[in-house]
Structure 1
Amino acid sequence: MKTIGVIGLGIIGGVWAKNYEAAGVLAGVWNRTAQPEFPKWKREAREVASAADVVQIVVADPPAVQSVLDAILPALGPGKIVVQSSTIDGESSDGFLKQVTAKGARYLEAPFTGSKPAAEQKKTIFFLGGDAALVAELEPLLALVSETRFHIGTHRQATAIKLAMNLNIAVQMQGLGEALTFARRAGVSDETFFTVIKKNVSNSGLVALKEPKLRAEDFSPQFSVKHMLKDMRLASRTTGCEEMPMLDTIRGCLHATAQAGYADEDFSALIRLLGPQER
């Protein structure tokens, strides 16, 4: 089994790193905000790349990925692999692939779906983009933190399917919040609403995940407003997707939610902008 280092110890990266540590394959971790108490903590990102066969990057956005690559490229070379798991766009992925392979290392695009509860239960779903042989080589390692791994195709296609999934989820969340608010204002109880929707064709995994949060008005982040907004901005800048009505609408709703002071909350906080919730 190869060893792995994780750069980015946020909501998901920190969980993955602990799972890798429990499996005995974690070689090092680094985070922009220091966490020296974390198992296998390294003082610099470059030290992680030096110690590990595989470096998995899970940070906020393309500029953050670039800053990591700037730090670790001197430590990359033949035998090293970069697994890029941040949500980015295809153009950025092109650039990162070129930088890594120019050092003689290999690159796998590996965005994912699944929030914190899924990561804790090792039910993350990876969308892998790259050479089939590399995908097969990394299968045992990525299986330690995930339930399913799809080989989507190219690195650009992997970034596209991730943004497509998040667009679908964000639009569903806005629709769920509006439907719940509509029912509440008619005097329908949350218990009745969620009982009925579970028998409706519109029921989904998102409903199951967000029902407890909506009912309790618990907006602690599983996936934050600011990160979903970043993803929708990336999607909007993708060639051929500049004038999609629902994409434009949900980006605007997320922007307004962030501007209202809820950027760090779970993206189910979209419901907050619908006004007072009559219960």
Structure 2
Amino acid sequence: MKIGVIGLGIIGGVWARHYQAADKLAGAWNRTPQPDFPQWKESPEAVASAADVVQIVVADPPAVRAVIERILPALGPGKVVVQSSTIDPQSSDEFRTLVKATGARYLEAPFTGSKPAAEQAQSVFYLGGEAELIAKLEPLLATVSATRFHIGDHKQAATLKLAMNLNLAVQMQALSESLVLARRAGISDDVFFGALGKNAGYSGLTKLKEPKLRAGDFSPQFSVKHMLKDVRLASRINGCEDFPVLDTVRDCLAAADRAGYADEDFAALIKLLG
């Protein structure tokens, strides 16, 4: 099976190069043209025509909708859409209906793991769909990922991804506040992170972001604007409207966005604390 990638951002571009190295890439397209990219096509329709599987990795539900509306005429029996953008469950339901109406199949496949994980083919997929389809796509998705969890249906996979990102956003805000608290007391970063490394609060996020926080390096692994989009989507899910920590971290991310940090890593939350 050959795959086409639509959306060549921080993650999609890395995945497409992995597919190309494995001789599995049939086409690639991005809204901002990258004509020198391997297997570049002039339109998303051309990617969908050339590929057995179309993987969508774009910013948000409106961007996914725009792509799907364009590629629908090129879909049909034998085609599969793997939707890997972070979206809400209601949008997932809408997109699945549109794709299935053509006779094509649909797999919700959001992921976790930022740019370093993608570069090492260590992404983790949360898959929502039929077990038979997941098994069929396993060898292809294994090209860019270390782990693939079958979560349940498409809406459950989309929801779990938002839940995971909410947890990360809250951890980042708490880590920022605790580090600034220690710095204001004259405690060095060496002492702070050394102590945190032996504390129950140490996490994979701490390990990933420690070098960035120490160096003041906010080059994006996962940007403020994308995390803000995700927590906004989470806050609109029925039953989540009154989550106090979700509301707080959404406001913090919105403040970072307004302060001009939208394209920086979401570790830039610490910059709001002075």
Give the TM-score taking structure 1 as reference length: 0.98
Please give the alpha-carbon distance, in whole angstroms, between the structure 1 residues aligned to 2:258 and 2:265. 14
Name the amino acid aligned to 1:257.
A
Structure 2 residue aligned with 1:267: 266
CA distance in 2, matches of 1:19, 1:269: 29
SS at match of 1:170: helix
Tell me how far apart the structure 1 counterparts of residues 106 and 56 of structure 2 sit (CA, whole Å): 11
Quote the Cα distance in structure 2 between the aligned partners of 1:40 and 1:71.
Answer: 19
1:73: which partner in 2?
Answer: 72
The Cα of 1:256 is off from its aligned counterpart by 0.3
1:49-60 paired onto structure 2 within 5 Å: 49-60=48-59
> 2:88 maps to which residue?
89
Structure 2 CA distance for aligned equivalents of residues 132 and 243 of structure 1: 35
**Aligned-partner residue type, residue 48 of structure 2:** A
Provide the residue aligned with 1:174 in structure 2. Answer: 173
Percentage of identical aligned residues:
71
Shift of 1:36: 0.2
Any stretches of 5+ residues in structure 2 without a counterpart?
A: none
Give the deviation of 1:232 after TM superposition: 0.4
**RMSD after superposition:** 0.3
Tell me, in whole angstroms, the C-alpha distance in 2 between the residues paired with 1:246 and 1:136. 37
Find the counterpart in structure 2 of residue 34 from structure 1. Answer: 33
| Corresponding residue SS for 2:39 | coil
TM-aligned CA deviation for residue 223 of structure 1: 0.2
1:59-111 Cα distance to aligned partner (Å, 9 max, x none):
00000000001110000000000000000000000100000000000000000
- 1:118-267 correspondence to structure 2 within 5 Å: 118-267=117-266
Q: CA separation in 2, counterparts of 1:90 and 1:205?
A: 27
Report the alpha carbon displacement of residue 40 of structure 1 after superposing the two structures with TM.
0.2
**Aligned residue in 2 for 1:114:** 113
Amino acid at match of 1:156: K
TM-score where L is the length of structure 2: 1.00
| Distance across 2 between alignment mates of 1:135 and 1:82 | 12
TM-aligned CA deviation for residue 215 of structure 1: 0.3
- Once the two structures are superposed, residues 215-242 of structure 1 have per-residue CA deviations (whole angstroms, 9 ceiling, x without a partner) of 0000000000000000000000001111
How far apart, in 1, do the equivalents of 2:242 and 2:104 lie? 38
In structure 1, C-alpha distance between the alignment counterparts of 2:65 and 2:83, rounded to whole Å? 11
Regions of 4+ moved over 6 Å: none
Alignment-mate amino acid for residue 160 of structure 2: I
Q: Distance in 2 between matches of 1:131 and 1:267?
A: 34
Give the gaps of 5 or more residues in structure 1.
none
Distance, in Å, in 2 between the alignment partners of 1:137 and 1:243 is 40
Amino acid at match of 1:140: P
For 2:35, give the aligned amino acid: P
| Per-residue Cα deviation, 1:35-72 (whole angstroms, up to 9, x for no partner) | 00000000010000000000000000000000001110
1: distance between equivalents of 2:195 and 2:5?
Answer: 42
2:117 aligned partner, one-letter code: A
SS class of match (1:235): helix
The size of the alignment, in residue pairs, is 274
Work out the CA distance in 2 between the residues paired with 1:191 and 1:121. 28
